[in-house]
Amino acid sequence: SLVGEGNGSKKKKVMILGGDGYCGWATALHLSKKGHEVAIVDSLVRRLFDEQLGTQTLTPIASLQKRVKKWKDLSGETLDVYIGDVCNFEFLEHAVKSFEPDTIVHFGEQRSAPYSMMDRDRAVFTQHNNVIGTLNVLFAIKEFVPECHLVKLGTMGEYGTPNIDIEEGFITITHNGRTDTLPYPKQASSFYHLSKVHDSHNLAFACKAWGLAATDLNQGVVYGVHTPETSLDEVLINRLDYDGVFGTALNRFCVQAAVGHPLTVYGKGGQTRGYLDIRDTVRCLELAIINPAKPGEFRVFNQFTEQFSVNDLAALVTKAGQKLGIEVKTAHVQNPRVEAEEHYYNAKHSKLVELGLEPHYLGDALLDSLLNVAVTYADRVDNEQILPAVSWKKIGTKPKTVKPSGL
Amino acid sequence: SLVGEGNGSKKKKVMILGGDGYCGWATALHLSKKGHEVAIVDSLVRRLFDEQLGTQTLTPIASLQKRVKKWKDLSGETLDVYIGDVCNFEFLEHAVKSFEPDTIVHFGEQRSAPYSMMDRDRAVFTQHNNVIGTLNVLFAIKEFVPECHLVKLGTMGEYGTPNIDIEEGFITITHNGRTDTLPYPKQASSFYHLSKVHDSHNLAFACKAWGLAATDLNQGVVYGVHTPETSLDEVLINRLDYDGVFGTALNRFCVQAAVGHPLTVYGKGGQTRGYLDIRDTVRCLELAIINPAKPGEFRVFNQFTEQFSVNDLAALVTKAGQKLGIEVKTAHVQNPRVEAEEHYYNAKHSKLVELGLEPHYLGDALLDSLLNVAVTYADRVDNEQILPAVSWKKIGTKPKTVKPSGL
Ligand SMILES: NC(=O)c1ccc[n+]([C@@H]2O[C@H](COP(=O)([O-])OP(=O)(O)OC[C@H]3O[C@@H](n4cnc5c(N)ncnc54)[C@H](O)[C@@H]3O)[C@@H](O)[C@H]2O)c1
Ligand SMILES: NC(=O)c1ccc[n+]([C@@H]2O[C@H](COP(=O)([O-])OP(=O)(O)OC[C@H]3O[C@@H](n4cnc5c(N)ncnc54)[C@H](O)[C@@H]3O)[C@@H](O)[C@H]2O)c1
């Protein structure tokens, strides 16, 4: 079937901002494999965060230069690389003018909620980095490549946990006898999540005022490490964060299980969110790219495949551990965040499926393989990094100058 | 009646960020007159914008130092002054710790939509200045004066022009059989208006996560120049902007009428907005201050008294001109903005009235006096500054280095 293949075999010139990161690297290889021309733009600041926090990815990742060379050796495909900060407009202008993308995928933001809640300086950095970077991208498109489709990563966290169904970006409201379709109300709960809300509003305006074409992908929590391309060679391996600042729910649990650390369920564990496999992330990006938004259109897709509560995830990891002979315990730790621990949650996510997404559901096989990766690299785990280290209420103006576990 | 007097005669320590500006100066004097202890914080950057753009307020304003000295001479009251940028946290920390406000009024932002649409650099400046400044204020309150009530200026422009009634900040939505009260959806249409949307989301979070108390005043377009205090002496006179960048609708029309320039109606002139008299601005601020939000509460008031379309305003100014023997013409100029020119508009604005606001409606007397001020200072008008100089669609990345009329 041609469903989801959009303009048939048309190959795109895709510039991936944040292409050295967790989602960006996997996406770059996937698109390159599919015959698209790919450039990576990244300041490598994510690697700096690890140095500064004293954290490390579970999986030993190679330098971007080595990764790109290995991909060339294995696939014959070239990935253009531009090292720089999208907040630096001169740099971005140079990169965009020289590559001339028809699609820009924007992953290049500070993406950890706890990082944004560490201290004032990092809160300000996060909103500046993300909001100004995205403004620069909008201006670069308007000026230099006005036909270029922007595919921007947002987060399901923009919606918060309203007591009504979450729609994909917009909601039709009838009020006092009149009706309109309006942006879905946003209730984000960290300075990081808020930065994405700000981006979404800026994007909607740029599409309306300037006729830009943009897709906002409100992504759920991504889990997993391997994609067919990143598992071709250890030099291509993707990052897997498990620490209390950059690690996300399911990935963290698997690493905790592998080293015999109790799963750290925050509070009551009833917090329900949307999740997806990294293999679906790369496919969703591909689907959005080959079926672009129209000029002037601001589209929003909710990008996740299944909903789980934190307790659901703990139970699944416990069961998968048993199968592998690992005894998994759970510890309810004090919730460092300010969030509802029991709430209604029902979020729509049909638009990417309509474009052709065939989800990888979180099954035993995935959990086994993720747990096995965690077991393989268990000796790299720093137990000090596992506990949550950042409190939503204790954030202050004094800079945190040591690694979180030492706070 | 004691309605609106809140905690009776309790006097407040009010720090006014942006206290040298149009709304801020009038508010500072009004509150000082009412016996509150007032400090002004301002970087004076608004005066720099005028220098750089080659524009000037119609009314000749004195330096902040002279204004404050004159007020002391006339009223016996001291206004503390802190000159600096709220984006500079060290400065803000010093000011807050030394004054120890129980109320912070935040007017201190770049507030012109056209300015934010001049070029990329000014768009970025606007969002940085406003969003980071407000983040700093939130952190300063959390750390140094956690009980302090924040009264933050937003704008009615955050709501855009939805096809349903505009509520005050929140809307109750019933959807698929469930109900919740959620933030009212935002559709701002300039980088300036968007910065206010971002601020509102950040504020809501800070109140929820940290228990801060905040009032967001979504203000309409302010008109008029005199308040009882600013008209006591010419040294105390308030600014009146009429240029294409900083001038706002009704004030601009009065100045245009006074110098025989046709009223510049953008497009069809059906754009309807909420308006209020500067004498009501200062009273609204007072009401919000003496009836503070509770800890953890994020309140939103729509701060305007009447709705007018641009054509309504043109007709009112034409009629007032006739009375004074001035012949007023109207010219429909091409709309430099991207906005609906015919639309539904019905915005609620009862919360401040419930607190005791008794509106000054836009009547002949006000228009006469505003027109007369314009006539008095007509020789200061630079005709080159009257036309709209900034186009929403033509904004680019090349810096605008000369005054707008020369673009
Ligand atoms: N990982 C998830 O579970 C998840 C979930 C929802 C949304 N997202 C979003 O997807 C995107 C990618 O997430 P990720 O997990 O791959 O994050 P990541 O931190 O692994 O990757 C982000 C990359 O962007 C780069 N970057 C950051 N700021 C930059 C700047 N100013 N200029 C240039 N490069 C910059 C970093 O160096 C890093 O390589 C982010 O926008 C994130 O918010 C991720
Ligand atoms: N004037 C209106 O019609 C109107 C309508 C709706 C909302 N508002 C809002 O009311 C507030 C005041 O508006 P105004 O018309 O008095 O504007 P204004 O430009 O006359 O005053 C703003 C003041 O803030 C100062 N300022 C700006 N950035 C600063 C910073 N980073 N640090 C310190 N000081 C800074 C400026 O120097 C200026 O004196 C603004 O937030 C504006 O958005 C105004």
Instruction: Report residue B332 CA to chain centroid gap.
Output: 26
Per-residue pLDDT of A280-299, as tens digits, reads 999 999 999 999 999 999 99
- A146 near B CB under 8 A: no
pLDDT range class, residue B2, cuts 50, 70, 90 = very low
Of all protein residues, whose CA lies closest to atom 30 belonging to ligand 2?
Answer: B85
- Phi–psi pair at A79, nearest 5 degrees: -110, 115
Q: What per-residue confidence (pLDDT) applies to B325?
A: 94
Above 70 in pLDDT, residue B404? no
- Phi–psi pair at A225, nearest 5 degrees: -130, -40
DSSP secondary structure letters along A138-202: HHHHHHH-TTPEEEEEEEGGGS---SS-B-SSEEEEEETTEEEEEEPP----SHHHHHHHHHHHH
Name the minimum distance, in Å, from the CA of A175 to any CA of chain B: 6
Q: Are A124 and B132 inside 8 Å of each other by CB?
A: yes
- A189 near B CB under 8 A: yes
pLDDT above 70: percentage of residues in chain B: 96
When pLDDT is averaged across residues B190-196 and rounded to a whole number, the result is: 98
The answer as to whether B403 is a domain residue is no
What ipTM was reported for this prediction?
A: 0.97
Greatest pairwise CA separation for chain B in angstroms: 64
Q: What per-residue confidence (pLDDT) applies to B389?
A: 83
What is the number of domains present in chain B? 1
Per-residue pLDDT of B217-231, as tens digits, reads 999 999 999 999 999
CA distances from residue A146 to A207, A293, B83, B265, B396 in whole angstroms, order as listed: 11, 13, 42, 30, 12
- In this structure, the residues whose C-beta lies within 6 A of any atom of ligand 1 are A 18, 20-24, 42-46, 85-87, 107-111, 129, 133, 153, 155, 219, 221-222, 248
The answer as to whether B2 is a domain residue is no
Of all protein residues, whose CA lies closest to atom 32 belonging to ligand 1?
Answer: A85
Q: Are A339 and A272 in contact (CB under 8 A)?
A: no
Q: How many CB atoms lie within 10 A of CB A403?
A: 17
Q: Are A369 and A226 in contact (CB under 8 A)?
A: yes
Domain housing A144: 13-384
pLDDT range class, residue A9, cuts 50, 70, 90 = low
- A1 near B CB under 8 A: no
Q: What pairs with residue A154 in β-bridges? A: A218
CA distances from residue B303 to A362, B114, B163, B273 in whole angstroms, order as listed: 50, 22, 20, 12
The answer as to whether A95 is a domain residue is yes
The answer as to whether A401 is a domain residue is no
DSSP secondary structure letters along B365-398: HHHHHHHHHHHHTGGG--GGGTS----TTT-BSS
**CA–CA distance, B203 with A54 (Å, rounded to integer):** 32
Residue A364 three-state SS:
helix
Per-residue pLDDT of B27-46, as tens digits, reads 999 999 999 999 999 999 99
For tokens 């391997």, the residue is A226
For tokens 């249409």, the residue is B189
Q: What per-residue confidence (pLDDT) applies to B403?
A: 60
CATH number of the CATH domain containing A202: 3.40.50.720
Above 70 in pLDDT, residue B3? no
Burial class (CB in 10 A: 0-12, 13-18, 19+), B23: buried
Chain A residues in contact with B89 by the CB 8 A cut-off are 120, 397
pLDDT range class, residue A10, cuts 50, 70, 90 = confident
Best mutation target, B171, B182, B184, B344, to test chain A (most A CBs within 10 A): B182
Contacts (Cβ under 8 Å, ≥6 apart) of B277: B222, B223, B224, B305, B359, B360, B362, B366
Q: What per-residue confidence (pLDDT) applies to A403?
A: 60
Q: What per-residue confidence (pLDDT) applies to A365?
A: 84
When pLDDT is averaged across residues B184-202 and rounded to a whole number, the result is: 98
The answer as to whether A397 is a domain residue is no
Above 60 in pLDDT, residue A251? yes
Residue A196: active-site member: yes
Per-residue pLDDT of B43-77, as tens digits, reads 999 999 999 999 999 999 999 999 999 999 999 99
The answer as to whether A336 is a domain residue is yes
Instruction: Report residue A26 CA to chain centroid gap.
Output: 11
Above 50 in pLDDT, residue A407? no
Q: Are B150 and B207 in contact (CB under 8 A)?
A: no
The answer as to whether B404 is a domain residue is no
pLDDT range class, residue B407, cuts 50, 70, 90 = very low
Looking at all shown ligands, the one closest to residue B192's CA atom is 2
Above 80 in pLDDT, residue A82? yes
Residue B361 three-state SS:
coil
The answer as to whether A407 is a domain residue is no
Q: Strands A306-309 and B37-42, how do they pair?
A: unpaired
Q: Are A191 and B182 inside 8 Å of each other by CB?
A: no
